[in-house]
Structure 1
């Protein structure tokens, strides 16, 4: 399923960014900076695709990722705090993709240091609630368990 694949991409890039951070990132080195920016961009794009796919499955017409987030928040599928986090991710991705000159290295450093580990679980919760299908709950429980074990082994 597409949702599962997108969660895998998101979790992979969380792990990749965590490994990069633990090894020490030289933000003055253009190759290191571009590697970090690319990982953040792929991570953010997978989140955007996940949200848009969820909105489509729910029959929510959303012209933009921000509108999709607003609608998911309005329906109660995501909290206001999670909606704010997701909006910031979408906006940061837009800066990375469209406005290279406007990238603030300290902001990039802050994002990498923030450990956005909970995102796959937030997104999985959105999907599980939005589908409301019992068979998916069992399947998704296995994914949640996997992600929990993954995160506790990599981030503790």
Structure 2
């Protein structure tokens, strides 16, 4: 089986200059976990996952104390307003992942599954020979495939 047989073709994408607010609204509206980031011609630049939009607990240097960090900065106590303001001002390109495995429609699905399992991404953009996004594969797609085989 090839990647083209399992992928979702023509996925929703977002541009690198779009704000995180626009991205978050699109993710919620479509109920997606990520969006491929593309230039005007549809070439893959990166991937924006929901996880990149949420604060993470991090250890404060030289202590055992954990605090929330977002986009490499510590988040204050009134963090919701602070996060929303950052969403309005921050472009997608500032937090997207740009190092991604490259998968093509003609690749075997085993290669795509291995790429997903070896990385910490949950969604894998599929590109053509010119690096244009033509599809997306998720970990859930593989679960569906396994259950379909039963």
Q: Which has the larger radius of gyration?
A: 2
Richer in strand (by share): 2
TM-score relative to the length of structure 2: 0.29
The structure showing larger relative contact order (alpha-carbon pairs under 8 Å, at least 6 residues apart) is 2
